A and B are shown apart, each in its own frame.
Chain A
Amino acid sequence: MGNNQNNNRTCGLKNPKLNALFYGVIKGNPIVVLMIGLCPVLAISTTVYNAVGMSIAVAFVLMGSNVIVSLLRKFTPNQIRIPVFIIIISTFVTIVDYLIKANLPFLYKQLGIFIPLIVVNCVIIGRAEAFAYKNSVFLSFLDAIGSSIGFLIVLFLIGATREILGQGTFFNKVIFSNPCIVMVLPPGGFITIGVIMGLLSYYNLRKKKQ
């Protein structure tokens, strides 16, 4: 729930479909711009494998919930929309939880409690409320894909930085020895996202000056 949510919810494209698709990737990136859904980003981004696994889980839930919320938007009374969103989201989270538990036990052990916690991930309920509840099914699906890609990019960046610097490996292949262990510990997660956001705001300031 960041304070700097921008009200301008488009990225300047005329076609509404492309607009829905690309909004979440950069301009409305859920993590670095809107500052929502931070918990899993920092907690499980110690390796690229975990980061990609988490992004796919979030993407599945986001697409499923956006489509269903959009399908049911005509029948959902305005007053009880939030409980309805929560039930839809938690259904998909339970599906993902059991799918990963059955097929990828190693990933399940790594992600642990963060899989059931997807249910309170602000990205998903935020997109349901801000977009899927007001738009058609296909547009909501595109919006979900865009936000998922934005989520994946940031998670991949943080995961890669922390794995390379903290463990000296990339996708479990050794790159160098003597890594800087603090990067895989909790402080490293805060530093990495701080640096990424700092660079982004440096770039934005430079662009404004020109």
Chain B
Amino acid sequence: MIISNQMNPFLIFLSACLINNIILIKFIGLCSFFGLSTNVKNSIGMGIAVTFVTITATIVSWLVYHFALVPLNLVYLRTATFILTIASLVQLEEMFIKKYLPPLYKAMGIYLPLITTNCAILASTFLNIDYNLSLLNSIVNGFGIASGYTIAIIIFANLREKILTAPVPKSLEGYPIAFFLASLMSLAFLGFKGLFGL
């Protein structure tokens, strides 16, 4: 389903977070989803970091697109510009947080460099442009996508910790059983389809 400016911001948030969950329904950001969900602590740190960067990246990329690329007729440079913008933004944020917010840095610092090439963030900036959203709606949409990511990765990490104690067939240990788990979670999230007629 397509999000548009006419929708209520709350519905945009719900749609991005649950109905079109970035990981379980749209399959974006899977590398970090499987790589960092081996324990709950990591997954929480990654969730916070992704939320923080997605919101700032959404704002910056929206401004760059509408005030630099469109007036200069350089829309075809979108892919290159956005990835470079996000990479430099992440670098700046890392330095800023390290200096001024040490507790936050402790919680999410080591995950920041991993985020530069996280598909979820890049995808959320592309989707905002594709749907032609206003700045406020873009932020809501970005926040929804990031919350969806955080919810999914924290639930998944909890399930994976539980499965360590379960008797799993030897050939399914590790990643194969994790994929089956993700499939069941995705089945559960499919249940949100049709919520509020979306």
Contact = CB atoms under 8 A, between A and B. Distances in A.
B: contact size bracket: 35 or more
Given A86-B83, A117-B119, A194 B31 contact: no
Contacts of A90: 79-80, 83
A79 to B, nearest CB: 13
A83 B171 contact: no
Contact of A37 (B31, B35, B114, B126): B31
B176 to A, nearest CB: 4
**A interface, over-half SS:** helix
Interface stretch (B20-28, B65-73, B142-150): B20-28
Given A39-B29, A187-B190, A198-B171, A116 B79 contact: yes
A117 B78 CA distance: 12
B119 A39 contact: yes
Contacts of A190: 179-180, 182-183, 186
Interface in B54-103: 76-80, 83-84, 87
**B interface, over-half SS:** helix
Contact of A186 (B27, B77, B118): B27
Interface of B: 24-32, 34-35, 38, 76-80, 83-84, 87, 114, 117-119, 122-123, 126-127, 130, 170-180, 182-184, 186-187, 189-190
Interface of A: 1-4, 35-39, 42-43, 83, 86-87, 90-91, 93-94, 97-98, 113, 116-117, 119-120, 122, 125, 182, 185-191, 193-195, 197-199, 201-202, 205
7 A-B pairs with the lowest CB-CB distances in the bound complex, closest first: A194-B179, A190-B183, A43-B27, A202-B171, A90-B80, A198-B176, A38-B30
Given A113-B123, A120-B119, 9 more contacts: A4-B175, A39-B31, A90-B80, A116-B78, A119-B83, A186-B189, A190-B179, A201-B174, A205-B171
